[in-house]
Amino acid sequence: MDHHSGYVVTLANSIIGVSILAMPYCFKQTGILLAFIMLILSNLLTRLTCHFLIKSAIISRRKTFEYLAYCTFGTFGKFAIEVGMIGFLIGTCIAFFVVMGDLGPEFISELTGRDTSSATRTSILMALALFCVLPLGLLRNVQSLGGVSKATIGFYFCLVLKIIVEAMPHIFRSDWTNKVELWRPAGIIQCLPIFSMALSCQSQLFEIYQAVQNPSLEKMNHVVKNAIDICTIVYFCVGFFGYIAFAHKNFTGNILLSFEPSILTNVLKLG
């Protein structure tokens, strides 16, 4: 990744979202082989669309998604992209707050030893909105997110290691082979939205494009490829080993809720 590693990590961090917590569930619903194929297809399609976006931006000399749409489709195109971007960001915020609304009160309850109420959930979400989401949303330069992005990617790799450790006893005992599905097309409709958006980074792409010095198509393809490959590997590891680790019991779309309570689990939830 050489001197572009900061941009790669920042883009990778912006790609990985709450989809990572649902990967074991998606592997369960579609089967391991079908889930792997869906991830590879999502990887290739995302890289292809990013390639065309950057190529169009270089040819038209535009550095934002909105002005590229304006140059290509006129005023209506720019308006449509802006509305779509607003909807995408609102959806991302909703997904984040839903997950934190589940994890936050549970973390506080384990920390204090007391039951939490709906007021606690509301207070946690308000604090996150005011002191985390808002300051990050006001940043103008993505380079300032480099340290935060590296720390976040570190937490993701800790999550991967935790899940692998949970899966190892079942792998050594080989008691998982008759409990997992390899090919289950019946679940593809339910998981298709998750797979299709898991590696999506088109809306964040132009923030990186503006930050890279002397951006070229080759440089941007290099950054996008490495970032998406990192995320694909992380998703596959979480999905595959998470499915094996918890194949013997029912689990939901949030794999963190399936872990046994421990200090490490609480640290991962906090991360």
Domain with 15 in it: 2-65+142-265
- Is 111 a member of any domain? no
In the three-class reduction of DSSP (H, G, I as helix; E, B as strand; rest coil), residue 219 is classed as helix
Q: Is residue 123 scored above 60 in pLDDT? A: yes
- Is 7 a member of any domain? yes
CA dihedral 82, 8, 57, 214 (to 10 degrees): 130
- Is 211 a member of any domain? yes
Q: Is residue 54 scored above 90 in pLDDT? A: yes
Model confidence at 270, pLDDT cuts 50, 70, 90, reads low
- Is 221 a member of any domain? yes
Instruction: Read off φ and ψ for residue 139, nearest 5 degrees.
Output: -65, 135
Q: Per-residue pLDDT averaged across 39-67, rounded? A: 94
Residue scoring higher pLDDT (262 or 190): 190
- Is 23 a member of any domain? yes
- Is 233 a member of any domain? yes
Q: Is residue 217 scored above 80 in pLDDT? A: yes
Model confidence at 97, pLDDT cuts 50, 70, 90, reads confident
pLDDT of 1 reads 45
- Is 260 a member of any domain? yes
Q: Is residue 250 scored above 80 in pLDDT? A: yes
CB-based burial of residue 18 (10 Å sphere; 0-12 exposed, 13-18 middle, 19+ buried)? middle
Instruction: Please give the DSSP secondary-structure letter assigned to residue 212.
Output: S
d(CA 63, CA 71): 11
- Is 103 a member of any domain? no
As a three-state string, the secondary structure of 26-68 is HHHHHCHHHHHHHHHHHHHHHHHHHHHHHHHHHHHCCCCHHHH
pLDDT digits (tens, 9 = 90+) for 8-18: 998 998 898 88
> How many domains would you assign to the chain?
1
Q: Per-residue pLDDT averaged across 216-237, rounded? A: 95
Q: Is residue 264 scored above 80 in pLDDT? A: no
pLDDT digits (tens, 9 = 90+) for 147-164: 777 788 888 888 899 999
Other C-beta atoms closer than 10 Å to the C-beta of 186 total 10
Model confidence at 2, pLDDT cuts 50, 70, 90, reads low
